[in-house]
Structure 1
């Protein structure tokens, strides 16, 4: 049985964050969105929930991490090709992301990373399974 994951991210400016994730090609789900939160479907199994800081604080007893000085998590997405990795990074950069390091290539793996406008780190990785098997 497949499971779903709901990645909950605190955001400083919900409208800016919604514009960013829309710029990546993800569609806002208005059923689970309001002035405190926005839901984006990444795939049938992956959703990103963007929560304004005060709302996020209401579901945890800890402070929101300062992504400029602390890394709370690294979100990694798979891609079906190197071109898909590059296309998603191009979209992210055009929507306001920054690329914290150069593309990484290790044998059959190719990946790139971006920081969204709130500093959340995303990695996009393609793995050439045929090269792994050969």
Structure 2
């Protein structure tokens, strides 16, 4: 059974956030009927759903995390090589994201992270060997 992953995040501006994520490889931009959310595809089993803050708060019935003060989640995605990890993070930084330092070798994995335009933390990981 294939399990699809839906990553839901609040954003300040749907169009700007969608363009950022398209620059690192997400595709499409399917808006919700009320245009408060937008779905992008990374692959056949991973979708990113961006919500304007009020729509996200309505779904969760909780306050939205202030990404300047705390982390709600770190999204980690597998990459095919060390080079791809660096390429993807470099593309995120070129699109306005913030790098979280150089790549690291940790427990047989190479990883490197960044924060997107809304402060959500992401990492790309390559399993070494």
Bin of the TM-score, shorter chain as denominator length: over 0.9
Higher strand share: 2
State the TM-score, normalized to the length of structure 2.
0.92
> Can you give the 5+ residue segments of structure 1 that lack an aligned partner in the other structure?
none
Q: Which residue number in structure 2 is paired with residue 115 of structure 1?
A: 115
Q: Which residue number in structure 2 is paired with residue 56 of structure 1?
A: 56
> Can you give the 5+ residue segments of structure 2 that lack an aligned partner in the other structure?
none
CA distance in 2: counterparts of 1:73 and 1:22, whole angstroms:
21
Tell me how large the CA RMSD over aligned residues is: 1.5
Q: Which of these two proteins has the greater Rg computed from alpha carbons?
A: 1
For 1:56-96, what per-residue CA distance to the aligned partner results, in whole angstroms no more than 9, with x for missing partners? 11111110100000100000000110111011011101111
State the TM-score, normalized to the length of structure 1.
0.89
CA distance in 2: counterparts of 1:69 and 1:55, whole angstroms:
21
How many residue pairs align between the two structures?
A: 129
Q: Which residue number in structure 2 is paired with residue 95 of structure 1?
A: 95
CA distance in 2: counterparts of 1:31 and 1:69, whole angstroms:
29
CA distance in 1: counterparts of 2:33 and 2:26, whole angstroms:
14
CA distance in 1: counterparts of 2:2 and 2:56, whole angstroms:
27
**How far apart are residue 34 of structure 1 and its match?**
5.7
**How far apart are residue 100 of structure 1 and its match?**
2.0
